[in-house]
Structure 1
Amino acid sequence: MLKVFVYGTLQPGEVNFPRYCQSHGPQVTPALIPGQLYHLPVGYPALVPGSGWVEGCLLSFADGAVLEKLDELEDYQPGRSPAENEYQRVKALIYADPQTILTEAWVYVMTPQKIAQLGGVPFVGSRWCGLPTVG
């Protein structure tokens, strides 16, 4: 089973969930990860491991093939230097609450250098939500 923690546009109800995740029928579990969120001017968040808590969802997929599409979306290529990737895909402990570990899962994080390069600013709060589109 493939497990991925998501905290931005891949969460249920956000813009990229239907396109990248929904058809794969993931089991969705509310979850937490230690870290700090940053808001990027391009309209999505970035996560840096740290001492605060970030709310999101643990997505559990029966088919691991979805990981290739997620890597593509997150501009991550295994073996490419961190400076060339937008996000880094790493294994991390995922929590049900601050005292209870759920599992280990993949999560996409961003280096502080990449956040600075993209003009990111610290996000106030622990749960990111995209703004509704107007149109």
Structure 2
Amino acid sequence: MQETGGALVVFEGRGDTAGRGDTAVGVRAVSVGTVRRIGPPLPFFVYGTLRPGESNYLRHLDGRTVREESARWPGAVLYRGPGYPFALESPAEPESTVVGELITCAPGEYGSVLSALDHLEGFIAPGHPGNLYERMVRSVRVADGTAVGAWVYVPAAPIAARLREDGTPVPGGDWCTARAGG
């Protein structure tokens, strides 16, 4: 695993990959478009309706987590969506940040939570044209400033392009505060 430009890049394979001197940590390719975990499961960075107390947290995560901690995704912008937000990396706005929580699943819950969240977020497979969101590994920061690799659902390319062109950013990057009128 290597951190570059605020994102974690996970190289596929074992040992030296493509002669770059990089080694794979945590994932390996098993077929095109399919990646299986071989290390500990990643936490999820949630920034909208999956945050504690929100509607989809209650449906999909309540009672299925062992840890929930405040976190931020630096260099990303939160946009208003149709009842839920979209978060996008924004190299042009490195000072922007998205506020959310880092969610760690309870033992035995990871597979079913991952499947439920993929379904909720409209994620079929990496790069699939029918995706609403893509599930990607990104580096987020917890309260003490530690960088943590986490799954983050980001809008698929066509939606991301529209948001960058004419989307409405959420002030302060905090969905819950903006919804509460703050």
TM class, shorter-chain normalised?
0.7 to 0.9
Q: Structure 1 length as normaliser, TM-score?
A: 0.83
The corresponding residue for 2:71 is 31
Indicate the structure with greater strand content.
Answer: 1
2:124 alignment partner, one of 58, 77, 84: 77
Shift of 1:100: 2.3
Q: Is the 8 Å Cα contact of residues 93 and 101 (structure 1) preserved in structure 2?
A: no
Match for 1:23: what amino acid? G
Instruction: Point out 4+ residue stretches in structure 1 off by more than 4 angstroms.
Output: none
The corresponding residue for 2:101 is 57
**Given the superposition, is the C-alpha separation of residues 3 and 94 from structure 1 closer, same or farther in structure 2, using an over 3 Å criterion?**
same
Shift of 1:46: 0.1
Match for 1:7: what amino acid? Y
1:104 alignment partner, one of 149, 170, 179: 149
Once the two structures are superposed, what CA deviation does each residue of 1:87-122 show, in whole Å capped at 9, x if it has no partner? 01000011025x8233101000114631528x7422
Q: Percent identity?
A: 32
Q: How many residues align structurally?
A: 128
Q: 1:95 & 1:101 partners in 2: Cα distance?
A: 5
Q: CA RMSD in A?
A: 2.2
Q: 1:54 & 1:80 partners in 2: Cα distance?
A: 23
Of structures 1 and 2, the larger Rg is shown by: 2
Q: Any unmatched runs of 5+ in structure 2?
A: 1-40
Shift of 1:23: 2.6
Q: Structure 2 length as normaliser, TM-score?
A: 0.63
Q: Any unmatched runs of 5+ in structure 1?
A: none
